[in-house]
Amino acid sequence: MSDLLFFTEVTLAGLGSGALLALTALAFVLIYKATRVINLAVGEMLMLGGYLFFAFAAGLGLPAFAAIPLAVAGGGLVGAIVERGLIRPMLGENPISVFMVTIGLGSVLVGLVELVWGTDPRALPAFMGTTPVFIGEAYVSRKIAIAFVVAAVVIAVFLTLFRFWRGGVALRATATDQAAAYSCGINVPGVFSLAWIVGCGTAAGAGVLLGSIGGISPAMGVFGLSALVVVIVGGLDSVAGALVGGLVIGLIEAWAGTYLGGEYKLVTTFGLLLVALMIRPYGLFGTTEIERL
């Protein structure tokens, strides 16, 4: 019986980190959907979000309810600047060049954060409380439970927007055919900017959640790589794929880490990636069209 309880707890923790993966994956998907750019700096945007929150909450002493929106807005602002300054002039160039630009951007962000805040890991000010949550008898850390709920709500909101909001139609239209989107009167550059702002803001928000669970450090952007696995498994252009992929990868990492040992975590994750790509090269939910990179 206690085995079952333990399994449930591991599963719940896995779902929690899976929800965070899904939220980060959403940032990849949003930006890729609109601009066909794989933004490898999503992980670093996430880290920057954590540090921005740290600066507002610990540095300026703002309460969490003010610091969180400021961190998200800060992420969005950086996204807007990057899109206007680096990505838009590169549109139409070789996808690999754009891809490399985002890699370079990631390194620059890490460097800037190290210059300002140093390389030591830090803990974020606690704002969620520590009383554990019990689901039935199973114990869940309060932070993970909150992260799960927030991620689930945000993803649900995005799914709804894409389906029912006119702007969601504009984004999907732009993703399908840029010239045709222009010809329908859609402000295509505006859609690009919006996707980057919302995508980077989402990543920054995920960074606040992740940082409050595990602390922040300049190297936490590596989390973005796991999220990249999620989007490749789920489909680069699918919000639903990001959700399902995130939960699946989170669960598998938790199970493999607990029952097989920590060293199996990455092996199983990337093994799964290989298998998934062999069966469905465009991702589980992705559009059947392969981007050549």
Build a one-symbol-per-residue string for 59-98: x at contacts with other proteins by CB under 8 A, - elsewhere. ---------------------------------x------
Q: Which residues are within 8 A (CB) of 33 and not within 5 positions of it... i.e. 6 or more apart? A: 171, 172, 175, 195, 237
- Supply the minimum distance, in Å, between the C-beta of residue 33 and other proteins: 11
Tokens of residue 244, six digits:
């399902």
Q: Closer CB to other proteins, residue 24 or residue 174? A: 174
179 contributes a contact to other proteins by CB under 8 A? yes
Q: How far apart are CA 97 and CA 100, in angstroms?
A: 5
Closest of 216, 20, 14 to residue 119, by C-alpha: 216
Q: Which stretch binds other proteins (CB under 8 A): 8-16, 17-25, 180-188, 217-225?
A: 180-188
Q: Return the number of the residue (207 or 241) whose C-beta is nearest other proteins.
A: 241
Residue closer to other proteins, measured from CB, 191 or 227: 191
If you ran DSSP here, which 8-state letter would residue 83 be given? I
Among 64, 145, 147, 181, binds other proteins (CB under 8 A): 181
Helical segments of 83-187, H only: 95-117, 142-164, 166-176, 178-183
| 185 DSSP assignment | T
Contact 188, 178 (CB under 8 A): yes
Per rule CB under 8 A, count of chain residues that contact other proteins: 21
Residue 182 CB, nearest approach to other proteins (Å): 4
Cβ 266 to other proteins shortest distance, Å: 34
For residue 190, the one-letter residue type is G
Phi, psi (deg, nearest 5) at residue 179: -65, -40
Beta carbon nearer to other proteins, 82 or 188? 188
Select from 286, 281, 92 the least CA-distant residue to 189: 92
The residue from 58, 77, 128, 186 that contacts other proteins (CB under 8 A) is 186
SS (H, E, C) 25-46: HHHHHHHHHHHCCCCCCHHHHH
Looking at residues 115 to 174 of the shown chain, list those that interact with other proteins (rule: CB under 8 A): 166, 169-170, 172-173
Tokens of 230: 């999620």
Q: Which is nearer to other proteins, 116 or 179 (CB)?
A: 179
Q: By C-beta, is 39 or 174 nearer to other proteins?
A: 174
Cβ distance to other proteins smaller for residue 46 or 171: 171
Site residues, other proteins (CB under 8 A): 92, 166, 169-170, 172-173, 176-189, 287
